[in-house]
Each structure stands twice: as structure tokens, then as C-alpha cells.
Structure 1
Amino acid sequence: MAGIVNMALTNASAVVEFILLGFGDLPNYQGLLFGIFLLIYMSILVGNGLIILITMVNSTLQTPMYYFLRHFSFLEICYTSVIFPRMFKNLLTQKRNISFLACAMQLFFFLILGGNECILLAVMAYDRYVAICNPLNYPLIMNQKFCVCLVTGSWISAIPIPIGQTYNIFSLPFCSSKSLNHGFCDIPPLLKLACGDTKMNELYAYVGTSLSAIVPLLIILLSYIKIIATIQKLPSGIGRHKAFSTCSSHLIVVSLFFGSGIISYLLPNSIKPAGVDKILSLMYSIVTPILNPLIYSLRNKDVIMALKKLQTR
């Protein structure tokens, strides 16, 4: 962290600030966009906040699966809170400038929270793998101490790579144009502004993203290969349906989050159409957080019952 701050202060003499264009190409709709994004943000806070609340107070949801879901919902709130306040300021004041240091800090925390989500999704897949493939030993394996270690480990392991990625990006010399065609500071639009040969920096960004996203994704895929193979062996059709239903919500979230993120981060800038990063960023930074509580509540009878009990109270 100290290295990023020192690097930012050193480079700030050359680059004072960036301009987040965001949705500046729609000048007549700034008020409408502000209202829409405010509604989305409030929905994310309320929806994920309810998931956190019911998994804490309802005794039937005191299981590892809902323990991880609670932390995932907390991450979704933090993840979007890194982006939305600056976006609201830009829409209200029409002042789209962001200082060099503030941009570096926004990217740093955005990458940490995004990497943490990737790891936690892999942890949730492993939890389903143990529950379905090794049900007799599930209480012994997924005990409270191990669950706490997994969540703590996801936070700790998500920090080192963003430090290197942020330093890698903000140590670059930037060209005369400081306009980012994006809603927030992110790696793809920042790389487009860099001057000179950035192939090694792009390679470093790809490697960092691969470690943060592809490794957890491989764990998820391997877990579900084992899960599907086990489900196919179940004698009862009802049992197979129940096993699939407990995994389907997680798979939908994984597909939305990883699909949009991988396209945005791992496809070279040279083959991506202009503005596609801004559209994809809405998927992994806004759409997934707002759909997360809906997916888990509408497709989960336990969550629906817990919500009804909370409403009755």
C-alpha cells in the first residue's frame, strides 16, 4: 500500500488527474441516469443486506453454505460501494475529474474485492462438492473453524496481486489524453491511455488476472465435474433434482461474474470494439450484485421461508 501511494505521488507531477467520461455522451439524461443508478445501488444494499440479516438471525440457515453466502453478499455491497459514490458525484456535478491517487486507490480496492469474490465463489463450489460428493463427512470437513479459515484466507490471498497490478498500471507514462471512456478506474481503459510499448504491462495484467480469476474458475469447474458425476449416480430422480437445485443458483452467479470479467480483462484491447469494456463492466460490477439476492432467494426455498418469517416479525 505504501509503495502504491509513493508511486502515485511521484508520478502525479506528470499526471495530475484523469477524466472519467462515464455516460457523458448522454448529456440530456444525466438526471435520469442518476435516478436509475441510485435505485440500483439502493436495491443492492437492501437485497444483499437482507441476505446478511436472515442468514444471521434464522436458525435454519446456520450452515456453511449460508455462512459463505453471507460473506459473499457483504462483498457485493463493498464491491459496488467502491464505484457508485464517485459515479453519483460525476452525474450530479458534471465534474468528471478524479485525481491520480484517488484513481489508483479506487482500482486497488476494486481489484482486491473482485479477486476476493472469485476466491469465495470457488470456496462456495468446494462446499457444494463436499456436501454432495462426501455428505457423511461434511459436518467434520466443513466445521466452523475451517469455514472461518477459508473466508479469512480469501481476504488475505486477494491482496498481493492487486498491489502488483496497481503498481504496474500507475507506473506507466500516460499520453496527453487523460480521458477514460469508463465509469470508474479499471485496468483495460487505463492501459489504453498509456504511452509507448505496453506489451509487458499487458502481459503482467493478464497473468495477474489469470491467477485471480482463472485459477478459482478451474477449481469451480473441477468441483462441478465431480458434482455432476456424483449426481448422475443417484438412484432417485427427486434426489438428483434437489442436488441440482442447490447448485444452480451458484452456477448462474458464476457464469455472469466470470463470463463478463474474463472477456473484459483477458481479450486484447486491439480486438475489442470501442466502449465494450464499459458495457461489460456493468455486468460484473452492477448486474451480478443486484441479481445475487434475487437468484438465491427466488431459487431457494429455505431463503424464501426465512424472508417470510422475517416479514411476519
Structure 2
Amino acid sequence: MHSFPGSKRRSKVISSLFLMALLLAVDVTLPGKAAALDAGGKSQDMPEAAPPPAAFQNPIPTDQLAFLNEYYGKSAKDVVRDKRFRKLMKEMTPRTTYHYGRDMPLSEASGDVMDGAPLPVVIHDGRYVMIATHGGPYLSGRGFVWFDMQKGIALGGVYFHPVNGEPTPTLAVFSRQLYETSLNMSQLPLAFAQDLSEWIQHAGLRFISPRYFIPENGKKYVLVHDEDYCDHPANAPAPPQDACQQLNAEAAEADLNAADFMAQTHNAANATAWMLSPALVSWIGFRNQSCGAGPYGVNCRIRMTRQRARLILVQQRR
């Protein structure tokens, strides 16, 4: 579990992550007491070395991205129609079959969600661009395309509610510039994390859900939640521990379900029906019995669930 690097942006991201999660996770039943905290009010998970930032290959030349500045504040629908934007989409989208209600090219699925109800194009710091939609008629599909015009980085995303048995709702982030097969959220650009959280708020999405990434090879892998929802800037009050620990528990559970799904379907981007494996069902019973429902139960479940998800992901890479 990692915090974002220290900066002014860190305070904004951590605060918005927690506040938006509390607002959006309306179905959360919060435990009555903080769980397994140290003297400083933080969870007792052992600290981990921060993974290196993701390496983005084949950056897009800046002159091919400059036209995006023309669309600042305009409707996403306007830029989506631009043939220069369509060319970028073609270049950045992995060549793979994705399941969005039915099997289709990922480029088609992304195009469909980008044709939904548009949001205004956002550009900040003179370099980061978010082009996104906030609603669609099919499976509540929504999408975004994000650029760092200075570094030539491009990331897209498809969010929808599957009805075929797989963990739902689901978010898949994709880019042909990624070659990794193991990725945590903290390895993606900090500005992307901020813009993604703001999009989730504006589009009215469920804040914590299974999420994946699709790199150049066209397969689908778990994009691990390694945010700490109990983290906060040094000059800000700590969030309510029972609430933030419950969010950490939900994130761990989402990763476990996603890892089990990908293990059963061999990382296929068009994987469909899923049910918990018998081994995992048995393990969940063991976890719940071991952790119990007392004041330490939530933190115990977080720790055990993260460990189990990591084990499944490591076994997949062998």
C-alpha cells in the first residue's frame, strides 16, 4: 500500500480520493470502530518498497498532440469527430478483442463509450488533457482518453456494468505504450490519478470496483489498488478511520475478485462468465472466521485479502 509522492498535487489527490469515495460508496456499512491501528492512526500493514513508475514506450510526438489545445473547454464530442484524434486513438489502442456486451474490437468498444454523453475537454498545467463522457445508453458505458502532451503519453479507459457474471462494474485502462503485465495504480502518472478520480466523480461512477489494464499485447491484467484511503497530508486532519479502512477493505476485495477472474480466464480481454473458484470460496470462509467481526476484523481482512490477491497474481506470472 503506497501513498502518492509528496507535492501539492498529493494533497489534492489524497483528499479527493477519500472524500469522493465516501460520497460515492453509499452502500457501505461502516464498522463502529477503527480497526488495528498503530499509535499514529495508520494501518499496521508492513511497509512495502514503492514500485517504479510505469515505462511508456513510443511516445507520441508533441506536434501531433498540439491540436488538442484547440478544444479546451469544448464538448468532448467535438474533438472525437476530429480525424487527428481518431488517428491517435487508432495508434494508442491495443489490437485485441474486448467483451462489451458482446465480443468486439477494443477500438470499437472505446469508440462506442466515447460517443456517449460528453463532458467538457479539460486541460491543466498546459500539458494534461482529459477527454471523457459521463453516460451512455448501453450497459452504463462511459469512457475517457487522457494525454500528457509534454511526454507524449496516452491512456484510454472503458467503464461499464457487465451482465454476464464477471465482477461488476468494471474499468479497463488501455494503452499500446504499456508493455508491463503487472501494474499498480501508483505506477501510473500522478496527474492521471488525479484526473481519473475527478472523472469518476463527475461521471457518477462507483468509486471502488474491479479495474484492469490492457497493454500492447492485448491481454487484460489487474490494475491493483495500492492507494491508502487512510493517508492524508501532514497538515490535514486524519479521515475517520472506520470509514477509510472500510474503503481499503473494498479495494482489497475488488482486487481479489479481479485476480481470481483473470486467473480463471487466462487474462483474456474478452473473458466473460465468472464465479468464485471453489478454493477461493473456501479461503474466504477461513479468512472471515480467522478475522472475526471485532474491532480488528476489518484490518485483518484487508491484510489477508491483499496477501491472497498478490499470491494469485504471482502464480499467474509463473
Verify same fold: TM over 0.5: no
TM-score (norm 2): 0.24
Which structure has more RCO (C-alpha within 8 Å, separation ≥ 6)?
1
Structure with the higher fraction of residues in helix conformation: 1
Computing the radius of gyration from Cα coordinates, the structure with the larger value is: 1
